[in-house]
Structure 1
Amino acid sequence: MGIFSRLTDIINSNINAILDKAEDPEKIIRMVIQEMEDTLVEVRSSAAKTIADQKDLERRIKKTSSAQAEWEKKAELAISKGRDDLAKGALIEKAKVADMEAHLKEELKHLSEALTRNEEDVIKLDAKLREARAKKASMQARHKSATNQVRVRKNLYDNRIQDAFDRFDKVDARLDRLEGEAEAMTIGRGENLEDQFRALEADDDIEKELAALKAKSSGGAAKPAAKAPAKKPASK
C-alpha cells in the first residue's frame, strides 16, 4: 500500500469520527495537517533507511567484484602449477560469488526504485502539506468571519435587546410627562409685584433710548421754545 493510500485511510477514518461529533472545521484541517506532517516524517525516515541499505549493498557488491577477481587469479595460478583441480574449485567459488553479486544487484535495483518512489511521494506530500496549511489559514479567516456574523446577527435579533429598547421608550415617555408637568405648573400664574416693577423700569429705559435716537436723527436735541415776554402790570 502506498503512503497516500494509507494516509487517505487514516484521514478519512479520523474525519468521519470528528464529523460524527460535529466538530468545527478548523479541527478537521488541523488533524489533516498533523497526519500529513507525521506521514512526511515517517516517509523521510524510511527514505533515510533505504539510502543506508543502498550504500551497504553497494559496498557488498564492490567486495564481491573484488572476490571474483581474487578467485580468478587463484584459478590462473593453479593452472600454471598444473593443478586443474584447484583451478576448478577456484572457478566454482568465483561462480558462487558471481551469483551473490547478481542477487545483490537485483536487491539494489529494487531499493533504488523504492527510493525513487519515496522521493516522488515526499515531493507530492510536501506540496499537499503547503496547500493544506494555506487552506487552514483561509478556513480560519472564513470561520472567524462567519462566527462574528452569527454573533452580530444574534445580537440584532435578540429579544433582550428589543426589550431594552422598549424600556428606553417607556423612560422617554415618563420623562416627557415629567417635563409636561413642570411646564404646566407655570401656566396661568400672573406676574408678582417685583416682576411688574422690573417691567416698568425696562419700559422707561426703552423710552429714553427711543428719544435719544430721535434726537440724533433730527440733527441734535430740539431747542426749547422761547418764553413769551412778561406782561407789564396795568397802570392805575
Structure 2
Amino acid sequence: MGIFSRMTDIINSNLTSLLDKAEDPKKMIRMMIQEMEETLVEVRSSSARVIADRKTTGRRLERMRSEAAEWESKAMLAINKGREDLARAALAEKQQIEKEIAVIDKELSALDEHLEHLNEEVGQLQIKLNDAKAKQKAMLLRQSSVESRMRVKRQNHKEALDDAFEKFERFERRVDSLEGQLESMDIGMQPKADLKSQIDALAEDDDINNELARLKEKMTKAN
C-alpha cells in the first residue's frame, strides 16, 4: 500500500469505531499512533523532496529567463548593426527557450499543487494524531481511575470480611462463656448425686434381704 493510500485510510477512519471493535483498545490505539507517526515522517520527507525539487526547478527557470532576455538583447544588437539575419536567429533561440520556460512553469505549478496537497494531508494527519494521543491519555487516566477504585473496593471487601469474622469470633466467645457458666453450675453436684444413689441402693439391698429372709422362713415352715 502506498504512502498516500495508507494515510488516507487512517485519516478517513472512525477512531472511536475502531476502538469499540478492538479486542485490546489500548494496544490498538498505540499501534494507530505509531502508524500515524511513521506516515507523518514519510509525508514530511516527501514534502522535503518536493520543496527541494521546486527550488531546483525555480533556479532553472530563472536561468532560462535570463537566457531569453540575453538572446533578446543580442537580437536588438544585431538590428542596430544592420544584421537582421542574426537578429532573426537570436529571436529563434529566444522562442525555443521560451517554450522550455512554459514547460518549466507547468512543472512548478504541478510541484506547488503537489506541495499544497501534502501540506493539507500533513495537517489532517496531525489533527488525527493529536486526537489519538488525547484518547490514549484519556484511556490511561480512566484505567488508572478504575484500578484505584478496584483497589478501594477490594480493601472495603477485605475490611467487611474481617469485620464479619471478628463478629463471628465474638459470638463464639460469647457462646463459650455461656457454656462455661452452665458447666460451672454443675460443679460439685455430681458427688452428691452419687452419694444419694449409693444410699438408695443400700435401702434397696435391705428390702431385698428382708424379702429373702421372709421367703426362707416360709419355706422352712412348709417343710
In structure 1, the residue matched to 2:177 is: 179
Quick check: 1:3–1:121 contact (8 Å CA) kept in 2? no
Give the number of the structure whose residues are more often helix, by fraction.
Answer: 2
Quick check: 2:10–2:36 contact (8 Å CA) kept in 1? no
Give distance in 2, aligned partners of 1:62 and 1:74: 18
- List gaps (5 residues or longer) in structure 2: 14-18, 189-223
Give distance in 1, aligned partners of 2:144 and 2:4: 31
| Further displaced range: 175-184 or 165-174 | 165-174
Quick check: 2:3–2:42 contact (8 Å CA) kept in 1? no
1:85–1:8 CA distance, 2 compared to 1 (3 A): closer
Once the 2 structures are TM-superposed, how far is the Cα of residue 103 of structure 1 from its aligned partner? 0.7
In structure 1, the residue matched to 2:102 is: 102
Give distance in 2, aligned partners of 1:135 and 1:19: 13
| Further displaced range: 119-128 or 137-146 | 137-146
Quick check: 1:57–1:108 contact (8 Å CA) kept in 2? yes
| Further displaced range: 62-71 or 136-145 | 136-145
Give distance in 1, aligned partners of 2:111 and 2:58: 11
Once the 2 structures are TM-superposed, how far is the Cα of residue 127 of structure 1 from its aligned partner? 1.7
% identical equivalent positions = 44
Give distance in 2, aligned partners of 1:57 and 1:47: 15
Local SS of the residue matching 1:122: helix
Q: Counterparts in 2 of 1:32-111, with a 5 A limit? A: 32-111=32-111
Tell me, yes or no, if structure 1 residue 123 matches structure 2 residue 123: yes
Give distance in 2, aligned partners of 1:2 and 1:149: 45
In structure 1, the residue matched to 2:28 is: 28
Q: Which amino acid aligns with 1:38?
A: E
Q: Over aligned residue pairs, what C-alpha RMSD do you find?
A: 4.1
Q: Which amino acid aligns with 2:83?
A: R
Q: Counterparts in 2 of 1:137-156, with a 5 A limit? A: 137-145=137-145
Once the 2 structures are TM-superposed, how far is the Cα of residue 29 of structure 1 from its aligned partner? 0.8
1:148–1:54 CA distance, 2 compared to 1 (3 A): same
| Further displaced range: 40-49 or 175-184 | 175-184
Once the 2 structures are TM-superposed, how far is the Cα of residue 145 of structure 1 from its aligned partner? 4.9
Once the 2 structures are TM-superposed, how far is the Cα of residue 2 of structure 1 from its aligned partner? 9.2
Deviations 1:31-50 (A, max 9, x none): 11111112222222222222
1:176–1:4 CA distance, 2 compared to 1 (3 A): farther
1:116–1:38 CA distance, 2 compared to 1 (3 A): same
Quick check: 1:33–1:132 contact (8 Å CA) kept in 2? yes
What TM-score do you get using the length of structure 2 for normalisation? 0.62
Once the 2 structures are TM-superposed, how far is the Cα of residue 107 of structure 1 from its aligned partner? 0.6
Once the 2 structures are TM-superposed, how far is the Cα of residue 64 of structure 1 from its aligned partner? 0.9
In structure 1, the residue matched to 2:203 is: none
Give distance in 1, aligned partners of 2:63 and 2:7: 40
Give distance in 2, aligned partners of 1:43 and 1:19: 28
- List gaps (5 residues or longer) in structure 1: 13-17, 191-236
Quick check: 1:54–1:108 contact (8 Å CA) kept in 2? yes
Give distance in 2, aligned partners of 1:27 and 1:152: 26
1:74–1:102 CA distance, 2 compared to 1 (3 A): same
Once the 2 structures are TM-superposed, how far is the Cα of residue 178 of structure 1 from its aligned partner? 3.6
1:133–1:4 CA distance, 2 compared to 1 (3 A): farther
Once the 2 structures are TM-superposed, how far is the Cα of residue 26 of structure 1 from its aligned partner? 0.5
| Further displaced range: 35-44 or 97-106 | 35-44
Deviations 1:101-155 (A, max 9, x none): 1111111111111111222222222222211111112223334555677888899
